[in-house]
C-alpha cells in the first residue's frame, strides 16, 4: 500500500464512520419481507450474509467448520467418456460389437442414438493404481500416480442430456439460464481473501467458450459483483486492466488522486455514501491493475515448474491455466473455474472421436492436472483447497449411430444416467470410490448421486448448510440445490 | 389425540382487542411465516392448506377443521399451536419456533371475529375516490405519510440538479450547456419547468430511453439463447417499441398488440410485428435437441413473462404445484398456458413463422394489406381443396412390395407402409403399387402421413416427416423402362404451411409433410398434370425421398403412410376452375408485389389453424413428457373472469390483461415507471406483488396513480410521467444530511429527491453525448461499437463488425448495440444490465472495481475522453474557462472553486511533472471528468 492510499483509506474510514456503516438493503436484496421469507420458507433460519457495501467481497467466516477454503473446478466441456478413463467394466468388453440389450434403450431418450445401437467396449486398457487400487485407463499416465489422492464418484446423474442445459445444471443447479453459479454463491457466502483480485476467476482453454457462455459463471439474481471474471492467459489477463496508451502509472495515480478529491467534494455537498463506495472501488481497481498482471504472468515461474505443467507461455492452453490456477489459489482467490473445450466424442469427426481427438484431449490435460495436484500438495495448499474434475454428463456404453447410419469414427452418445467425477484435496476421503454403475456402465446402479447432492456436499465442505445458504427471489428462498430435496454425500467426506 | 391447554387458553381468550384484526396486515404474514411452508400450495401436509377460507375451514385428513370461524376453541389450528406437547405442537420444533404469545392472541382473536379471509391487497382492484382522484395527489399523499413520522419534504432541487435529473430520466441523455443556461435564466416558475418537461416528452430520444427499459422486461436480444445462440434478426421489434413510446401508444393497446396483435381484425404491420414480444424466448438449435421440448419451454416462458411483466406475479412455481403463498391452483398454470399453446412456432431451426417487415416504413401499409389478402386467399383455396378432398372417393392403394434406399427398413402392413429399424438420413422409399382396381384413370393421389401413436401425439408429438421429393413412375406392359409421370401440384392440409408443398416436386430438401413435429394425422394431395390411363398390368412406383435431417440428429422419415387414388375429374380441373384460378393468379401477383418491397423477416406469433390445434394437458410434476388432465384456456379463478363474449383465445386474454377490471396491470406499470424515476418502486419487489412480495410503502399513492393512469390519463405513459415529474416530491433536492440518510437509506419515505447511478446504457450514452461523439440517429439494424479484445468468441462463429472511428455507427445509442445472450456486451454486463435470457424486472445496482476499470481504460471510453478533451479545448477562453466547461458538460453543474482548482492542478501536474503535451493533459482531465461520481449519477 502506498502512503497515499494508506492515508486515503484512513480518511475513508473517517468518512464512513460519519455516514454510518450501513448494511444496504440491496446487499441482502429485496428488503426485510424477502429476508423473512428466506428464513421461513424452508422452516430453517437462513444464513445471514452481510457484506459491507464498502467492501462487498470482504472475507466472511463460514457458519460451519468448512475444511475447504477455495475450489479449483476443472470442467471438461463436452462430457469426457468415463468409460475410457475411470469406470472400468469388464463385462462391456465382452459385449463389444453386440446389439444393445433392449432393456437399456426402452423408454430412454437419446440425443443422437436411434434404433438399436451396438455396444462399444473400452477403447483403452485399464489397470489398478495406488494403494487403493483405483482403476484408471492408460490415457492418464501421470494422473495414475495420484490415485491415492483422488476420491471418485462413479454415479453422478443429471436430468439433462443436451450440453447447454446440462452445463447449466452443473454450475447453477438449474437447466435454465439466470441462476447464480456455484462460484457466485461461494463468493457471496464467503467473500474472498485477496481484495486486489476478483474472488471468482474463470479460465478457458480448448479454443472455444462453452456454448451457454457467460451464464456458467453468472451471478443470476445475486448482486453482479459476485459474478465470475474471465481472465486470459493471452493478452490482457483481465478486461481493461491496462491503461490506455500514453497513460503511465504515475499519470493514472495523479488522475485518481484528483478524482478522489473531486468525489469527496461531491460527497461533502450531496451526502450520498454511494460516492464513498465509488472512491473505494477506484482504489481497488488501481490495486488490481498493479497485482493482476503480476499474478497472471506465468513466465516468472521457474523452468522446472513450467516443464512439470507442460506450459506454453503466451498461448492459450489448459496447462497454462492449471499453473495459473495454482498461482491464483496461492493468492487467495476463492473460486477458480477452468473450462476445457473439446470432449464431445460422438465419433462424428476425427477431432470428436474416441480414437483420435479424445487421445489429444487426454494428452493435453493429464500432465497439467497431475502437476497441479503435486504442486498444490508441495505447497501445503491441498490441505484447504478442493480440486474437482468432471463433465456435464457421461457417455453411453453404446456406440453412437447418428442418423441411423454407421459413423466414420468411434464415439459414444450423451448419457445423463452415469458419469464420473473426482475430487482431491481438503475434506474428502482420498483413495476412495463411491457408487457403482451397472455391469455395462450405463446406469448408476448403486448410490446414484444427483448433481444437487454433489452441490450440497460441496457447500458442506465449504462450511455451509445448503438449505440455509439461500437468497430470496421470485417468492422463493432460492438455493444452489434447487427445490428438490438434496443431501450431503457423507460417505465421501474425510 | 391431544390435550387441551385449558388454563392458558381461557386466560387469553378473555382478552379483548379494540380494532378488528386485519387479515392481510396481521394474519396472512403469520400464516406465511409459520404455516404455509407445509400447509400451503406446495405441501398440503395432512390434507390441509391455509391458502383460502374454503380450504382452511374444510376438513383435513384427520376429519377436523383447522379453523372453525368464531370458535377458536374448536379450531384445531389453535389447539395445535398452543399445545404444550412437543409431539403435538405446531409448527414442530424442528421446523421452527413456537408462535409468540402475541401472535397466538392475534390468530385467536381473528378466528373469534369470524376468520374473515380478505384477498391480498394486490388482487383487489384499486378503488377510485371520486371526489379526490380527479387531480394529482402525489404530494399530499407523500406529505401525509411523512407527517406521520414527523418528517416533511425537503427543499427543491436547484435548476441544474433538476434539469439534469429530468432530462436523463425522460430521454436518457444529459442536458446541453445551452439548455442548462436557458433553464437557469428562466424565472423559477412552474410554467418554465412544465415547458421543459413537455419538450423532453416530445423529444425523439424519449422513446429510446423507455424502449431500453421494456427491452429488459421483454428479454430482447439479437440472438437465440440456449444451445448455439445464433443471431436472430428481430430489431424491427425494438424500433416498434421506440415508436410506441414516442407516439405515446396507450398502454392497454401496447399490451394487446404485443400479446395478440396478429388476432386483431385486419392487423396493421405494427400490430403483427408487436407479437415478436413473445418470440424473444430462447430457442435451441444445438444438435440432438428435441424441438418440442424447447417449444414447450418457450411457451412456458411466455406464461411466466406475461405474469411477471404485466401482472407482477411470479407464476413459474405453479408449473409444478399450487402457489406456495397465493391463491393460484396448479391447474391455473396449464389453463393459462393453453392460451399460448397454439401458435405455429415450434423451435424449428428457421425460427418460423416470420413476418416480412418492410425496411422502409412507408411500405408498411401496402405490405400489411398483402399479408391480409394473401391470408384470405389461402384460406379460401384451402377451404375449397379440403371440401373437395372430403367429397372425393379415395381408393386405397395396395402395395405389392417396398424397398428403402438406406439402412431404414420399410414393411407393408395391410394398406400401410411403415418404416422399421433406425431412421436414416436421405432415405427414399420406393413403393410398388398395384393398379387400382376399377379405376380406368388416375387424376390425383393422396398420401396420408400418420403418427405411430395418434392418441399420444395429440399432446406429445412425434418427429414428423418431410417429403423432399415425390416421384411417380409407370412401366407399361411389355416395356422394361419406367417413365416418370408429370405431377403438377401438391396441396397441403393447411392454408399456410412452413414449407411450400410444391417443393416436393423440385430439388432440395423441403416439401410437404409435418415439419418438424407431428401432432395429428396429416395428408397431402398430389395432382397429376394429365390423368394417367390405367391399363392392365401397368406397374406403378411411388418414390418418397426424405432429406431433412433435423438438428443433425433426427431424419424426418415417414413412419407410417398410406396412399390412395382417385379418378375424380374434379381434380383435373381444380386448379383451373374459375374460383381457384383467379385466386391463384391473385396470389402470384401478390407474391410479385411483395418481392418488390425490400424487407427483413422477423419471427412473430401466428395462430395454428383450428383443425391442427394442440391439446393442452397438465404436466405431472412439471415434466412435459408426463401429461395429466386435459385443460381448456382460462384465467385463474381468483381473478376477474374473461369477457364472456367470444372465444377464449390469445386476444381475449390480452384484452383481459389490459382491462380496467384487472387489479394488477395499472399498478404494476405505475410502479415500474416510478421505480425508473425514483430508483425504488412504491412496491420494492417489482417482480412480486403477491403476498410474499414487499408491501407498498405508499399504498394510497400507488392506487391513486393506477386509477389516474387507467382513467384520467387513458393509459397514456407520457401523461403519467408528466404528472410524476411535475410533483414536488420528484423536484426535491437529493442532497441529504448523514442522519437523514441513515434514517432512510433507500429513500423509501421520499423525504428527498432521487439520486442514482445511471443505468449501463445511460453511462455509455452520457459519455458519448458529453464528448460530442454521440450519433442521434434513430432506428435500424444493431450496431457494433468497439469491443475489448478476446471477448468475441462466439460458438456460432459470426463476426463482430466493429464500426471504425468516425463512422457514426460507432457512436449510436446503447440500445442499438448488438445483444448476444452468451456474450453480453462487457460494459453493459459490468454495469448490471442483464443478459436478457428471461424477463428481468429490475436491476440491482452494484459498484465495483471492474466498473472503474471499464470507464478508465476501455477503448470506447478512452475515445470519449480524447474527444471530450478536444471539445474542452475548443471552448474559448483561458484554461479555467475550458475546465469549467468540461465540468459543466460532465455534471451539468458549474464547478465550485475548489473543484476547479483540483482540475487545474491535475492539468499542471500532467504538464509539469509528467511532461505531457497540452492535448494529453486535457485527455487525462477529460477522463477524470467522465469518471466523476457526479457524472455517473442522475
Please, what are the domains in chain A? 51-247+299-492 (3.40.720)
CA distances from A131 to A134, A146, A434, B57, B890 (A): 8, 10, 16, 65, 68
Closest CA to B530 of B573, B583, B481: B573
Q: Are residues B407 and B531 in the same domain?
A: yes
**Would the CB atoms of B857 and A476 count as touching at under 8 Å?**
no
Q: Are residues B409 and B527 in the same domain?
A: yes
| Other residues' Cβ atoms within 10 Å of the Cβ of residue B601 | 16
Q: Are residues B43 and B82 in the same domain?
A: yes
The count of CB pairs under 8 A between chains A and B is 316
B474 CA to chain A: closest CA distance, Å? 31
The Cα–Cα gap between A383 and A425 comes to 6
The Cα–Cα gap between A27 and A222 comes to 9
Confidence of residue A348 (pLDDT cuts 50, 70, 90): confident
* Contact with chain B for residue A293, Cβ under 8 A: no
pLDDT of residue B384: 96
Q: Are residues B111 and B146 in the same domain?
A: no
Residue B144 pLDDT greater than 80, yes or no: yes
**Would the CB atoms of A177 and B225 count as touching at under 8 Å?**
yes
pLDDT of residue B544: 97
**Higher pLDDT among residues B843 and B355, named by residue:** B355
Instruction: Evaluate whether residue B293 is within a structural domain.
Output: no
pLDDT of residue A110: 81
CA distances from A60 to A56, A63, B440 (A): 10, 9, 89
ipTM: 0.89
Q: What is the mean pLDDT of residues A342-355?
A: 91
pLDDT of residue A44: 57
The Cα–Cα gap between A143 and A367 comes to 7
Instruction: Evaluate whether residue B358 is within a structural domain.
Output: no
pLDDT digits (tens, 9 = 90+) for A191-244: 999 988 989 999 999 987 787 778 899 888 887 788 898 888 777 888 999 999
pLDDT of residue A212: 75
pLDDT of residue A474: 64
Q: What is the mean pLDDT of residues B799-813?
A: 95
**Burial status of residue B374 (CB atoms within 10 A of its CB: 0-12, 13-18, 19 or more):** middle
Number of domains in chain B: 4
B546 CA to chain A: closest CA distance, Å? 12
Residue A39 pLDDT greater than 50, yes or no: no
Q: What is the mean pLDDT of residues B712-740?
A: 95
Residue B823 pLDDT greater than 70, yes or no: yes
Phi/psi of residue B107, nearest 5 degrees: -60, -45
Instruction: Evaluate whether residue B114 is within a structural domain.
Output: yes
Residue A16 pLDDT greater than 80, yes or no: no
Residue A335 pLDDT greater than 70, yes or no: yes
Least confident piece of the model among A29-38, B532-541, B690-699: A29-38
Name the residue range of residue B467's domain. Answer: 393-567
Residue B300 pLDDT greater than 50, yes or no: yes
Confidence of residue A102 (pLDDT cuts 50, 70, 90): confident
Residue from A217, A234, A243, A285 whose CB has the most chain B CBs within 10 Å, to mutate: A285
pLDDT of residue A3: 45
In this structure, what C-alpha cell is assigned to residue B99?
408462535
Q: Are residues B738 and B883 in the same domain?
A: no
pLDDT of residue A34: 35
Mean pLDDT for all residues in chain B: 92
**Would the CB atoms of A259 and B324 count as touching at under 8 Å?**
no
**Would the CB atoms of B757 and A272 count as touching at under 8 Å?**
no
Confidence of residue A23 (pLDDT cuts 50, 70, 90): very low
B193 CA to chain A: closest CA distance, Å? 23
The Cα–Cα gap between A484 and B321 comes to 13
pLDDT of residue A45: 66
* Cβ-based contacts of B851 with chain A (< 8 Å): 281
Residue A54 pLDDT greater than 70, yes or no: no
* Contact with chain B for residue A289, Cβ under 8 A: yes
**Nearest Cβ partner of A165 from B226, B851, B856?**
B226
Q: What is the mean pLDDT of residues B840-858?
A: 89
Cα atoms found within 13 Å of the Cα of residue B40, Cβ hemisphere only? 25
User: Residue B155: CB partners within 8 Å, gap ≥ 6?
Assistant: B732, B733
In this structure, what C-alpha cell is assigned to residue B606?
401466428
pLDDT of residue B567: 95
Reported pTM: 0.85
pLDDT digits (tens, 9 = 90+) for B476-519: 988 989 999 999 999 999 999 999 999 999 999 999 999 999 99
Best-predicted range by mean pLDDT among A51-65, A475-489, B513-527?
B513-527
pLDDT of residue B190: 81
Best-predicted range by mean pLDDT among A34-43, A373-382, B313-322, B622-631?
A373-382
**Would the CB atoms of B838 and A18 count as touching at under 8 Å?**
no
pLDDT digits (tens, 9 = 90+) for B868-877: 999 999 999 9
Instruction: Evaluate whether residue B415 is within a structural domain.
Output: yes
* Contact with chain A for residue B144, Cβ under 8 A: no
pLDDT of residue B228: 81
Residue identified by cell 382478552 is B15
Best-predicted range by mean pLDDT among A159-168, A231-240, B25-34, B808-817?
B808-817
Confidence of residue B31 (pLDDT cuts 50, 70, 90): confident
Q: What is the mean pLDDT of residues B282-292?
A: 87
**Nearest Cβ partner of A25 from B746, B837, B936?**
B746
Confidence of residue A35 (pLDDT cuts 50, 70, 90): very low
Domain-ending residue, one of B544, B567, B590:
B567
The Cα–Cα gap between B270 and B285 comes to 28
**Nearest Cβ partner of B847 from A277, A401, A406?**
A277
B370 CA to chain A: closest CA distance, Å? 39
CATH code where residue B434 lies: 2.60.120
Instruction: Evaluate whether residue B817 is within a structural domain.
Output: no
Task: Give A 333-352 residues with CB within 8 A of chain B.
Answer: none
Angle between helices B717-725 and B190-202 (to 10 degrees): 150
Confidence of residue B9 (pLDDT cuts 50, 70, 90): very low
Q: Are residues B99 and B162 in the same domain?
A: no
B491 DSSP β-pair partners:
B525
Cα atoms found within 13 Å of the Cα of residue B414, Cβ hemisphere only? 4
* Contact with chain A for residue B857, Cβ under 8 A: yes
* Cβ-based contacts of B904 with chain A (< 8 Å): none
* Contact with chain B for residue A242, Cβ under 8 A: yes
Opening angle at CA B262, ends B258 and B266, nearest 5: 125
Q: Are residues B26 and B77 in the same domain?
A: yes
The Cα–Cα gap between B172 and B774 comes to 13
Instruction: Evaluate whether residue B308 is within a structural domain.
Output: no
Residue identified by cell 485518481 is A256
B512 CA to chain A: closest CA distance, Å? 21
Best-predicted range by mean pLDDT among B44-48, B268-272, B799-803?
B268-272
pLDDT digits (tens, 9 = 90+) for A148-193: 999 999 999 998 888 888 999 999 999 877 789 999 999 999 999 9
Instruction: Evaluate whether residue B378 is within a structural domain.
Output: no
* Cβ-based contacts of A478 with chain B (< 8 Å): none
In the three-class reduction of DSSP (H, G, I as helix; E, B as strand; rest coil), residue B622 is classed as: coil
Classify residue A300 by its DSSP letter: G
Residue from A22, A54, A181, A247 whose CB has the most chain B CBs within 10 Å, to mutate: A247
Q: Are residues B170 and B64 in the same domain?
A: no
**Would the CB atoms of A285 and B735 count as touching at under 8 Å?**
no
* Contact with chain B for residue A214, Cβ under 8 A: yes
* Contact with chain A for residue B229, Cβ under 8 A: yes
The end-to-end CA distance of chain A, in Å, is 40
Q: What is the mean pLDDT of residues B9-16?
A: 42
Residue A475 pLDDT greater than 70, yes or no: no
Residue B394 pLDDT greater than 80, yes or no: yes
Q: What is the mean pLDDT of residues A346-356?
A: 89
* Cβ-based contacts of B858 with chain A (< 8 Å): 239-240
Q: Are residues B96 and B185 in the same domain?
A: no
| Other residues' Cβ atoms within 10 Å of the Cβ of residue B588 | 10
Residue A36 pLDDT greater than 60, yes or no: no
Task: Give A 222-241 residues with CB within 8 A of chain B.
Answer: 223-225, 227, 229, 232, 234-236, 238-241
Instruction: Evaluate whether residue B509 is within a structural domain.
Output: yes
The Cα–Cα gap between B766 and B197 comes to 19
pLDDT of residue A17: 35
Nearest chain A residue (CA) to B831: A224
pLDDT of residue B337: 96
Strands A335-341, A70-77: pairing is parallel
pLDDT of residue A176: 77
**Would the CB atoms of B822 and A404 count as touching at under 8 Å?**
no
* Contact with chain B for residue A482, Cβ under 8 A: no
* Cβ-based contacts of B552 with chain A (< 8 Å): 112, 402-403
* Cβ-based contacts of B896 with chain A (< 8 Å): 265, 269
* Contact with chain A for residue B894, Cβ under 8 A: no
* Cβ-based contacts of B695 with chain A (< 8 Å): 33
**Nearest Cβ partner of B553 from A111, A163, A212?**
A111
Phi/psi of residue B395, nearest 5 degrees: -110, 115
CA distances from B906 to A253, A259, A308, B805 (A): 11, 10, 49, 28
* Cβ-based contacts of A26 with chain B (< 8 Å): 746, 844-845
Residue A40 pLDDT greater than 50, yes or no: no
Least confident piece of the model among A105-109, A142-146, B24-28, B255-259: A105-109
In this structure, what C-alpha cell is assigned to residue B815?
440500445
* Cβ-based contacts of B931 with chain A (< 8 Å): 259, 282
**Would the CB atoms of B899 and A211 count as touching at under 8 Å?**
no
**Nearest Cβ partner of B853 from A36, A275, A285?**
A285
Domain-ending residue, one of B510, B535, B567:
B567
**Higher pLDDT among residues B190 and B105, named by residue:** B105
**Would the CB atoms of B227 and A258 count as touching at under 8 Å?**
no
User: Residue B89: CB partners within 8 Å, gap ≥ 6?
Assistant: B80, B81, B83, B98
User: Residue B665: CB partners within 8 Å, gap ≥ 6?
Assistant: B255, B310, B311, B657, B658, B659
* Cβ-based contacts of B742 with chain A (< 8 Å): 19-20, 22
Q: Are residues B107 and B149 in the same domain?
A: no
pLDDT of residue B568: 94
**Nearest Cβ partner of A223 from B734, B738, B846?**
B846
* Cβ-based contacts of A240 with chain B (< 8 Å): 788, 850, 853-854, 856-858
Residue identified by cell 401525509 is B144
| Other residues' Cβ atoms within 10 Å of the Cβ of residue B13 | 15
Q: Are residues B406 and B502 in the same domain?
A: yes
Kindly state the helix (H) or strand (E) to which residue B765 belongs, with its residue range.
helix B760-771
* Cβ-based contacts of A178 with chain B (< 8 Å): 837-838
Domain-ending residue, one of B567, B602, B634:
B567
Task: Give A 380-409 residues with CB within 8 A of chain B.
Answer: 401-406
**Nearest Cβ partner of B229 from A115, A211, A241?**
A211
The Cα–Cα gap between B854 and B931 comes to 10
Opening angle at CA B283, ends B279 and B287, nearest 5: 155
Best-predicted range by mean pLDDT among A16-25, A171-180, A387-396?
A387-396
**Nearest Cβ partner of A266 from B555, B849, B933?**
B933
Residue B5 pLDDT greater than 60, yes or no: no
Q: Are residues B112 and B145 in the same domain?
A: no
Amino acid at each position: 500500500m502506498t502512503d497515499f492510499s494508506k492515508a486515503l483509506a484512513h480518511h475513508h474510514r473517517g468518512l464512513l464512520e460519519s455516514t454510518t456503516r450501513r448494511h444496504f438493503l440491496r446487499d441482502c436484496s429485496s428488503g426485510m419481507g424477502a429476508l423473512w421469507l428466506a428464513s421461513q420458507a424452508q422452516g430453517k433460519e437462513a444464513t445471514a450474509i452481510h457484506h459491507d457495501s464498502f467492501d462487498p467481497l470482504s472475507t466472511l467466516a463460514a457458519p460451519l467448520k468448512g475444511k475447504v477454503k477455495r475450489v479449483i473446478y476443472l470442467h471438461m466441456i463436452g462430457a469426457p467418456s468415463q468409460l475410457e478413463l475411470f469406470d472400468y467394466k469388464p463385462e462391456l468388453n465382452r459385449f463389444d460389437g453386440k446389439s444393445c440389450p433392449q432393456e437399456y434403450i426402452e423408454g430412454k431418450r437419446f440425443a443422437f442414438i436411434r434404433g438399436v445401437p451396438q455396444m462399444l467396449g473400452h477403447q483403452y486398457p485399464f489397470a489398478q493404481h495406488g494403494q487403493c487400487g483405483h482403476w484408471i485407463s492408460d490415457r492418464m499416465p501421470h494422473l495414475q500416480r495420484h490415485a491415492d489422492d483422488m476420491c471418485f464418484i462413479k454415479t453422478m446423474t443429471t436430468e439433462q442430456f443436451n450440453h447447454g442445459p446440462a452445463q447449466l445444471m452443473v454450475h447453477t443447479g438449474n437447466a435454465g439460464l439466470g441462476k447464480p453459479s456455484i462460484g457466485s454463491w461461494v463468493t457471496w457466502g464467503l467473500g474472498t481473501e485477496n481484495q486486489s483480485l476478483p474472488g471468482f476467476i474463470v479460465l478457458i482453454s480448448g479454443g472455444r467458450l462453452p456454448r451457454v457462455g457467460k451464464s456458467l459463471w453468472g451471478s443470476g439474481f445475486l448482486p453482479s459483483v459476485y459474478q465470475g471474471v474471465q481472465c486470459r492467459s493471452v493478452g490482457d489477463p483481465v478486461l481493461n486492466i491496462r491503461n490506455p496508451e500514453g497513460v503511465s502509472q504515475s499519470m493514472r495515480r495523479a488522475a485518481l488522486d484528483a478524482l478522489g478529491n473531486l468525489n469527496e467534494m461531491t460527497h461533502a455537498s450531496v451526502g450520498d455514501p454511494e460516492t464513498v463506495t465509488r472512491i473505494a472501488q477506484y482504489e481497488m481497481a488501481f490495486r488490481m491493475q498493479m497485482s493482476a498482471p503480476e499474478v497472471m504472468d506465468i513466465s516468472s515461474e521457474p523452468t522446472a515448474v513450467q516443464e512439470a505443467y507442460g506450459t506454453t507461455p503466451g498461448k492459450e492452453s489448459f496447462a497454462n491455466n492449471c499453473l495459473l490456477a495454482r498461482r491464483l489459489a496461492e493468492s487467495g482467490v476463492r473460486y477458480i473455474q477452468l473450462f476445457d473445450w473439446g470432449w464431445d466424442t460422438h465419433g462424428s469427426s476425427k477431432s470428436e472421436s474416441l480414437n483420435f481427438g479424445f487421445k489429444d484431449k487426454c494428452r493435453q490435460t493429464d500432465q497439467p492436472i497431475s502437476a497441479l495436484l503435486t504442486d498444490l500438495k508441495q505447497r501445503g495448499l491441498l490441505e484447504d483447497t478442493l480440486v474437482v474434475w468432471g463433465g456435464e454428463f457421461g457417455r453411453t456404453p453404446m456406440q453412437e449411430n447418428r442418423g441411423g447410419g454407421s459413423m466414420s469414427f468411434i464415439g459414444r452418445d450423451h448419457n445423463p444416467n452415469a458419469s464420473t467425477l473426482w475430487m482431491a484435496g481438503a475434506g474428502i476421503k482420498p483413495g476412495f470410490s463411491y457408487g457403482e454403475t451397472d455391469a455395462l456402465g450405463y446406469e448408476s446402479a448403486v448410490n446414484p448421486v444427483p448433481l444437487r447432492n454433489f452441490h450440497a456436499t460441496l457447500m458442506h465442505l465449504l462450511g455451509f448448510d445448503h438449505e440455509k445458504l439461500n437468497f430470496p427471489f421470485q417468492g422463493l428462498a432460492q438455493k444452489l440445490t434447487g427445490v428438490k430435496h438434496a443431501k450431503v454425500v457423507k460417505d465421501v467426506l474425510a | 389425540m391431544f390435550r387441551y391447554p385449558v388454563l392458558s387458553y381461557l386466560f387469553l381468550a378473555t382478552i379483548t382487542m379494540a380494532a378488528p384484526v386485519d387479515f392481510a396486515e396481521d394474519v396472512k404474514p403469520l400464516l406465511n411465516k409459520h404455516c404455509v411452508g407445509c400447509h400451503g400450495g406446495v405441501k398440503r401436509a395432512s390434507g390441509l392448506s391455509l391458502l383460502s377460507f374454503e380450504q382452511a375451514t374444510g376438513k383435513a385428513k384427520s376429519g377436523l377443521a383447522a379453523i372453525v370461524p368464531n370458535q377458536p376453541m374448536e379450531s384445531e389450528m389453535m389447539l395445535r399451536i398452543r399445545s404444550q406437547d412437543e409431539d403435538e405442537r405446531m409448527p414442530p420444533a424442528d421446523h421452527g419456533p413456537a408462535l409468540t404469545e402475541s401472535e397466538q392472541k392475534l390468530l385467536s382473536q381473528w378466528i373469534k371475529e369470524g376468520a374473515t379471509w380478505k384477498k391480498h391487497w394486490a388482487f383487489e382492484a384499486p378503488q377510485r375516490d371520486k371526489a379526490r382522484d380527479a387531480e394529482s395527489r402525489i404530494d399530499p399523499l407523500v406529505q401525509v405519510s411523512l407527517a406521520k413520522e414527523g418528517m416533511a419534504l425537503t427543499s427543491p432541487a436547484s435548476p441544474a440538479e433538476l434539469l439534469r435529473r429530468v432530462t436523463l430520466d425522460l430521454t436518457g441523455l444529459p442536458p446541453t450547456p445551452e439548455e442548462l443556461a436557458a433553464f437557469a435564466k428562466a424565472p423559477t416558475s412552474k410554467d418554465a419547468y412544465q415547458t421543459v418537461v413537455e419538450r423532453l416528452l416530445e423529444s425523439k430520444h424519449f422513446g429510446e430511453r423507455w424502449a431500453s427499459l421494456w427491452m429488459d422486461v421483454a428479454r430482447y436480444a439479437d440472438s437465440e439463447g440456449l444451445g448455439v445462440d445464433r443471431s436472430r434478426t428481430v430489431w424491427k421489434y425494438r424500433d416498434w417499441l421506440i415508436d410506441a413510446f414516442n407516439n405515446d401508444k396507450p398502454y392497454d393497446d401496447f399490451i394487446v398488440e404485443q400479446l395478440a396483435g396478429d388476432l386483431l381484425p385486419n392487423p396493421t404491420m405494427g400490430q403483427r410485428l408487436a407479437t415478436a414480444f413473445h418470440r424473444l424466448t430462447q430457442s435451441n438449435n444445438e444438435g440432438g435437441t428435441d424441438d418440442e421440448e424447447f417449444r414447450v419451454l418457450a411457451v412456458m416462458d411466455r406464461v411466466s413473462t406475461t405474469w411477471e411483466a404485466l401482472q407482477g406475479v411470479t407464476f413459474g412455481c405453479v408449473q409444478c404445484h399450487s402457489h406456495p403463498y397465493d391463491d393460484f391452483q396448479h391447474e391455473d398454470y396449464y389453463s393459462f398456458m393453453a392460451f399460448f399453446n397454439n401458435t405455429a412456432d415450434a423451435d424449428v431451426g428457421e425460427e418460423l413463422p416470420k413476418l416480412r417487415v418492410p425496411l422502409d416504413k412507408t411500405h408498411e401499409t401496402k405490405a400489411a394489406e398483402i399479408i391480409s389478402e394473401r391470408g384470405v386467399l389461402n384460406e379460401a383455396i384451402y377451404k375449397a381443396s379440403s371440401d373437395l378432398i372430403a367429397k372425393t372417393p379415395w381408393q386405397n392403394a395396395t402395395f405389392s412390395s417396398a424397398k428403402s434406399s438406406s439402412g431404414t427398413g420399410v414393411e407393408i402392413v395391410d394398406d400401410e407402409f411403415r418404416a422399421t429399424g433406425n431412421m436414416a438420413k436421405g432415405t427414399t422409399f420406393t413403393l410398388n403399387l398395384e393398379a387400382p382396381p376399377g379405376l380406368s384413370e388416375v387424376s390425383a393421389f393422396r398420401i396420408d402421413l400418420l403418427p405411430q401413436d395418434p392418441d399420444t401425439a395429440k399432446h406429445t408429438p412425434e418427429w414428423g416427416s418431410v417429403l423432399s421429393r415425390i416421384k411417380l413412375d409407370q412401366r407399361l406392359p411389355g416395356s422394361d423402362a419406367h417413365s416418370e409421370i408429370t405431377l403438377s401440384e401438391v396441396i397441403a392440409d393447411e392454408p399456410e404451411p412452413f414449407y411450400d408443398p410444391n417443393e416436393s416436386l423440385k430439388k432440395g430438401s423441403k416439401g410437404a409433410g409435418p415439419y418438424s413435429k407431428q401432432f395429428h394425422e396429416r395428408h397431402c394431395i398430389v395432382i397429376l398434370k394429365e390423368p394417367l390411363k390405367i391399363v392392365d398390368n401397368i406397374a406403378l412406383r411411388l418414390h418418397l425421398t426424405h432429406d431433412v435431417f433435423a438438428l443433425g440428429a433426427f431424419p424426418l422419415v415417414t413412419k407410417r403412410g398410406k396412399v390412395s387414388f382417385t379418378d375424380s375429374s374434379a381434380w383435373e380441373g381444380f386448379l383451373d376452375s374459375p374460383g381457384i384460378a383467379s385466386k391463384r393468379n391473385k396470389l402470384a401477383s401478390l407474391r410479385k408485389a411483395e418481392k418488390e418491397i425490400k424487407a427483413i423477416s422477423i419471427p412473430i406469433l401466428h395462430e395454428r389453424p383450428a383443425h391442427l390445434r394442440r391439446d393442452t394437458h397438465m404436466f405431472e410434476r412439471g415434466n412435459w413428457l408426463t401429461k395429466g388432465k386435459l385443460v381448456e384456456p382460462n384465467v385463474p379463478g381468483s381473478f376477474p373472469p374473461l369477457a364472456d363474449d367470444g372465444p377464449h383465445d390469445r386476444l381475449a386474454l390480452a384484452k383481459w390483461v389490459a382491462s380496467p377490471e384487472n387489479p394488477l396491470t395499472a399498478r404494476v406499470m405505475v410502479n415500474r415507471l416510478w421505480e425508473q424515476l425514483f430508483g425504488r418502486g412504491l412496491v420494492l419487489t417489482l417482480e412480486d406483488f403477491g403476498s410474499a412480495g414487499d408491501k407498498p410503502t405508499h399504498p394510497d399513492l400507488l392506487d391513486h396513480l393506477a386509477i389516474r393512469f387507467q382513467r384520467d390519463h387513458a393509459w397514456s405513459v407520457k401523461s403519467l410521467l408528466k404528472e410524476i415529474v411535475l410533483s414536488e416530491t420528484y423536484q426535491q433536492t437529493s442532497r441529504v444530511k448523514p442522519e437523514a440518510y441513515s434514517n432512510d437509506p433507500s429513500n423509501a419515505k421520499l423525504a428527498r429527491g432521487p439520486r442514482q447511478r445511471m443505468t449501463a446504457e445511460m453511462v455509455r450514452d452520457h459519455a458519448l453525448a458529453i464528448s460530442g461523439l454521440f450519433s442521434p440517429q434513430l432506428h435500424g439494424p444493431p450496431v457494433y461499437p468497439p469491443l475489448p479484445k478476446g471477448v468475441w468468441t462466439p460458438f456460432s462463429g459470426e463476426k463482430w463488425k466493429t464500426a471504425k472511428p468516425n463512422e457514426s455507427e460507432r457512436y449510436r445509442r446503447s440500445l442499438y448495440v448488438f445483444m448476444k445472450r452468451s456474450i453480453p456486451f462487457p460494459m453493459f454486463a459490468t454495469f448490471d444490465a442483464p443478459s436478457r435470457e428471461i424477463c428481468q424486472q429490475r436491476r440491482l445496482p452494484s459498484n465495483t472495481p471492474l466498473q472503474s476499470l471499464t470507464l478508465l481504460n476501455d477503448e470506447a471510453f478512452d475515445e470519449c475522453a480524447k474527444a471530450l478533451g478536444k471539445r474542452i479545448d475548443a471552448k474559448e477562453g483561458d484554461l479555467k474557462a475550458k475546465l469549467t466547461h468540461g465540468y459543466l458538460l460532465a455534471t451539468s453543474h458549474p464547478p465550485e472553486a475548489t473543484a476547479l482548482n483540483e482540475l487545474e492542478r491535475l492539468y499542471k501536474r500532467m504538464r509539469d511533472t509528467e511532461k505531457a503535451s497540452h492535448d494529453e493533459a486535457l485527455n487525462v482531465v477529460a477522463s477524470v471528468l467522465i469518471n466523476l461520481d457526479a457524472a455517473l449519477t442522475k
